[in-house]
């Protein structure tokens, strides 16, 4: 297997797939692309990645882009650590969370980029609109974790825990105001060994 990621190891979507591959204990090589120079739009890469984006996974003669599609493929294709809950309703919830985090919270993502996660905090305060986004995130995460378990699906870890921790840590690691129970949740997910492998990558 070959996983294409950004050269700075800063894409949260590439991180999600990287973690999934390690959770499955699958052997793979990582190839980096310099997105700033447009390497993802090259003719060679267009033959590999339908969407011209990272991450893209090549598994034999099959290639797939879009992170949640890749993690679902890995979950369904390979044994080992499940990436999604076994219960069908819990599995649907995990997929809903992934879709929500990828399609919403634009202001958090723009004002607290992944530079905050892997390089340095931002000195610019959150805008009023971004604070509203954050409150919506906190309310949703609090409701999802109201069962009192350590993970979104109770005692069962899933890849959506990584995605939620990434979004929360955009704020936590920047020192923004975050409810204490969500700080604990995000920090706990960040310490997972597969997550730490990505966090500790050497970056330019």
pLDDT value at position 125?
97
DSSP output for 157-194: --HHHHHHHHHHHHHHTTT----HHHHHHHHHHHTSHH
- Of the pLDDT bands very low, low, confident and very high (cuts 50, 70, 90), residue 12 is very high
Q: What is the pLDDT of residue 74?
A: 98
Domain with residue 41: its CATH number is 3.40.30.10
Q: Which of 55, 81, 107 is the last residue of a domain?
A: 81
Q: How many domains does the chain have?
A: 2
Is pLDDT of 204 > 80? Answer: no
Tell whether the torsion through CA atoms of 80, 13, 158 and 70 is positive or negative.
negative
Q: Are residues 126 and 42 in the same domain?
A: no
* Domain enclosing residue 157, as ranges: 88-192
Q: Is the pLDDT of residue 102 over 90?
A: yes
Q: Please give the pLDDT value at position 150.
A: 96
pTM given for the model: 0.95
Higher pLDDT, 38 or 179: 179
What percent of the chain is predicted at pLDDT more than 70? 100
Q: Residues of the chain with pLDDT > 90: what percent? A: 93
Same domain membership, residue 113 and residue 143? yes
**Residue 90 clears pLDDT 80, i.e. is over it:** yes
pLDDT at 167: 98
DSSP class per residue in 37-55: GTGGGSHHHHTT-TTS-S-
Mean pLDDT over the full length of the chain:
96
Question: What does the pLDDT look like over 28-82, one tens digit per residue?
Answer: 999 999 998 988 989 989 999 999 999 999 999 999 999 999 999 999 999 999 9
Do 115 and 180 fall into the same domain? yes
Instruction: Tell me the CA distances in angstroms from 69 to 44, 55, 58, 64, 146, one per residue in order.
Output: 22, 10, 13, 8, 28
Range with lowest mean pLDDT among 42-51, 132-141, 171-180, 185-194: 42-51
Give the separation between CA 177 and CA 198, rounded to whole angstroms.
25
Residue 203 pLDDT level (bands cut at 50, 70, 90): confident
In the prediction, which pLDDT does 39 show?
A: 87
201 located within any domain: no
93 shares a domain with 184: yes
């Amino acid at each position: 297997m070959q996983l294409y990621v950004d050269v700075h190891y800063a894409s949260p979507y590439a991180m999600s797939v990287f973690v999934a591959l390690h959770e499955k204990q699958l052997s793979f090589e990582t190839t980096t692309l310099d997105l700033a120079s447009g390497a993802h739009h090259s003719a060679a890469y267009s033959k590999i990645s339908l969407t011209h984006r990272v991450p893209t996974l090549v598994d034999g003669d099959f290639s797939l882009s879009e992170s949640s599609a890749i993690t679902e493929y890995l979950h369904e294709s390979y044994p080992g650590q499940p990436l999604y809950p076994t219960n069908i309703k819990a599995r649907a919830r995990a997929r809903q969370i992934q879709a929500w985090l990828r399609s919403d919270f634009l202001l958090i993502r723009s004002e607290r980029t992944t530079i905050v996660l892997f390089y340095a905090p931002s000195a610019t305060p959150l805008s009023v609109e971004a604070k509203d986004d954050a409150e919506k995130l906190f309310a949703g995460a609090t409701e999802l974790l109201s069962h009192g378990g350590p993970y979104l699906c109770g005692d069962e870890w899933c890849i959506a825990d990584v995605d939620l921790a990434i979004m929360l840590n955009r704020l936590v690691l920047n020192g923004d105001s975050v409810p204490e129970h969500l700080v604990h949740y995000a920090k706990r997910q960040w310490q997972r060994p597969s997550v730490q492998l990505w966090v500790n990558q050497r970056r330019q």
